[in-house]
């Protein structure tokens, strides 16, 4: 379902985990992130992209390789794939594919496209690597901590910050890969928000944000949560107020406490 739209941008949100896919239209190309996740939702995005692209090249940016983010890959046959080097080099590529198969089997889901691991055409090796296509200029930054292969993308001149699984209003940080890296990534996000004219922050789950101060508040909330993990743990009652799905995420919170040690 479409939850946000302006001249260049359309944001889709899945009914599952409020997973977000963003579509950006520019003069010479169109860009899409993490198309997800139920068959009818992927089909809605596919149709939308098909109608809008009018012969322009389609680039798909994968923010990281968690299974919910790569699940729609093969529904877009001729897309040019952008992801981090760590995404392309992931040693256990079968793991997310197995999770997709398990999810689909458990829920009696069939798809009209294949499930495979994305083949990366444009690999991001380092911070500030950029890609200019027509009027659009994309700049990429490594964003490890949630996973090893996370990627931030800033799309100019529209001021869009694509955050992947960071800076969500729906969930607190999930420290799947590395606690210290996660903190550094939050400091990087803060600098990027301060140094760029960002008018739209798009997280991987939850809702987009257009107000700069509220974007910075999301960084602050994540940072405070992470610091609290080290010093006895955040106040659980406060957390349930900030993140309305906290009760369903207690297991991940427990895991985070271990990761911070
Ligand atoms: Zn995710």
**CATH code where residue 13 lies:** 3.60.15.10
> 8: CA distance to ligand 1 center in Å?
24
Q: How many Å lie between the centroid of ligand 1 and the Cα of residue 95?
A: 15
Task: List the beta bridge partners of residue 57.
Answer: 29
Give me the mean pLDDT over the 24-37 stretch: 97
* CA–centroid distance, residue 52 to ligand 1 (Å): 26
Q: What percentage of the chain has pLDDT greater than the value 70?
A: 100
* pLDDT tier at 85, thresholds 50, 70, 90: very high
pLDDT tens across 36-60, in order?
999 999 999 999 999 999 999 999 9
pLDDT of residue 155: 98
Q: How far is the CA of 22 from the centre of ligand 1 (A)?
A: 14
pLDDT tens sequence across 104-128: 999 999 999 999 999 999 999 999 9
DSSP 200: E
**Full domain range(s) for residue 142:** 2-259
Q: Separation of 195 CA from ligand 1 center, angstroms? A: 26
CA of 188 to the centre of ligand 1 (A): 20
* Confidence at 242, pLDDT banded by 50, 70, 90: confident
Q: What is the pLDDT at residue 148?
A: 97
Q: What is the mean pLDDT of the chain?
A: 96
Q: Which residue has the tokens 């919910």?
A: 68
Residue 29 has pLDDT above 90, yes or no: yes
What is d(CA 186, CA 162) in angstroms, rounded to the nearest whole number?
A: 14
- The mean per-residue pLDDT over the stretch 167-189 comes to 96
What's the whole-number mean pLDDT along residues 16-24? 97
Confidence of residue 234 (pLDDT cuts 50, 70, 90): confident
Instruction: Give the DSSP H/E element, type plus range, for residue 95.
Output: helix 94-106
CA of 124 to the centre of ligand 1 (A): 20
Structural domains of the chain, count? 1
Query: How high is the pLDDT of residue 11?
Result: 98
Contact criterion met (CB below 8 Å) for 35 and 43:
no
CA distance 88 to 49: 25
Judge whether residue 9 has pLDDT over 90. Answer: yes
**Which of these, 60, 39, 44, 40, lies nearest to 12 by C-alpha position?**
44
Question: Does the structure show a pLDDT above 90 at 236?
Answer: no
CA 170 to ligand 1 center in whole angstroms: 11
pLDDT band at 244 (very low <50, low <70, confident <90, very high): confident
Taking each continuous run of H as one helix and of E as one strand, the counts in the chain are 8, 12
Distance from Cα 137 to the centre of ligand 1, integer Å: 25
Q: What percent of the chain shows pLDDT beyond 90?
A: 93
Q: Specify the pLDDT at position 216.
A: 98
User: Is residue 199 over pLDDT 90?
Assistant: yes
pLDDT at 261 over 90: no
Instruction: Check if the beta carbon of residue 198 is closer than 8 Å to that of residue 163.
Output: no
**DSSP-assigned letter for residue 257:** H
Neighbours of ion ligand 1 (CB under 5 A): 66, 68, 165, 204
Which candidate, 142, 176, 153, places its Cα nearest to that of 66? Answer: 176
């Amino acid at each position: 379902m479409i939850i946000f739209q302006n001249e260049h941008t359309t944001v889709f949100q899945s009914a599952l985990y409020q997973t977000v896919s963003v579509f950006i239209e520019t003069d010479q190309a169109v860009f899409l992130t993490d198309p997800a996740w139920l068959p009818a939702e992927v089909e809605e995005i596919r149709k939308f992209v098909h109608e809008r692209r009018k012969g322009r090249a389609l680039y798909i940016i994968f923010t990281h390789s968690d299974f919910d983010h790569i699940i729609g890959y093969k529904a877009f046959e001729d897309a040019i794939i952008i992801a981090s080097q760590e995404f392309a080099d992931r040693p256990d590529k079968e793991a997310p594919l197995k999770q997709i198969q398990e999810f689909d089997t458990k829920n009696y889901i069939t798809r009209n496209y294949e499930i495979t691991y994305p083949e990366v055409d444009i690999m991001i090796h380092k911070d500030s690597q950029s890609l200019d296509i027509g009027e659009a200029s994309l700049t990429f930054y490594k964003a490890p901590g949630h996973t090893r292969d996370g990627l931030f993308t800033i799309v100019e001149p529209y001021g869009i910050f694509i955050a992947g699984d960071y800076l969500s209003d729906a969930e607190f940080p999930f420290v799947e890969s590395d606690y210290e890296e996660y903190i550094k990534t939050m400091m990087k996000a803060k600098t990027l928000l301060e140094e760029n004219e960002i008018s739209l922050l798009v997280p991987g789950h939850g809702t987009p944000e257009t107000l700069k101060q509220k974007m910075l508040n999301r960084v602050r909330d994540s940072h405070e949560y992470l610091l609290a993990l080290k010093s006895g743990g955040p106040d659980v009652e406060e957390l349930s107020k900030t993140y309305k799905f906290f009760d369903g995420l207690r297991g991940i919170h427990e895991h985070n406490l271990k990761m911070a040690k």
